[in-house]
């Protein structure tokens, strides 16, 4: 069975410990696949996710929604200690930008 419209978020990276490439899926963080090649790691993790989703469907479990399909407002609240808030507000004032702009720039870099 192949997942239709597989929109899950995959990543392939080198594992120095295993001396192989490891395929990962953000929505299924407990799953991984090792391979000698990056292409094999990607094929492997996609197959594992496909198998797990099939099992979840059979057992009636909730299947994670792909990150790519989720809708984001662009807003979220972050709580920081008062000292950090003061420091960031000072940096924003010195740079002549809003605190929101400063935080957004720092978060996206």
Query: To 10 degrees, what angle do helices 82-95 and 99-108 make?
Result: 100
Average pLDDT, the chain: 94
The answer, yes or no, to whether residue 64 has pLDDT greater than 70, is yes
Residue 6 and residue 107: Cα distance in Å, rounded?
28
DSSP character at residue 75: -
The answer, yes or no, to whether residue 1 has pLDDT greater than 60, is no
**pTM exceeds 0.85:** no
pLDDT tens profile 7-53: 999 999 999 999 999 999 999 999 999 999 999 999 999 999 999 99
């Amino acid at each position: 069975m192949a997942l239709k419209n597989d929109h899950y978020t995959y990543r392939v990276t080198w594992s120095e410990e295993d001396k192989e490439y490891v395929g990962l899926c953000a929505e299924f963080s407990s799953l991984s696949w090792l391979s000698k090649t990056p292409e094999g790691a990607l094929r492997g993790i996609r197959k594992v996710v496909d198998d797990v989703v099939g099992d979840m469907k059979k057992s009636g479990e909730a299947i994670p929604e792909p990150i790519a399909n989720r809708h984001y407002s662009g807003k979220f609240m972050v709580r920081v200690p008062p000292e950090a808030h003061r420091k960031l507000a000072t940096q924003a004032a010195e740079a002549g930008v809003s605190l929101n702009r400063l935080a957004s720039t720092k978060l996206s870099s």
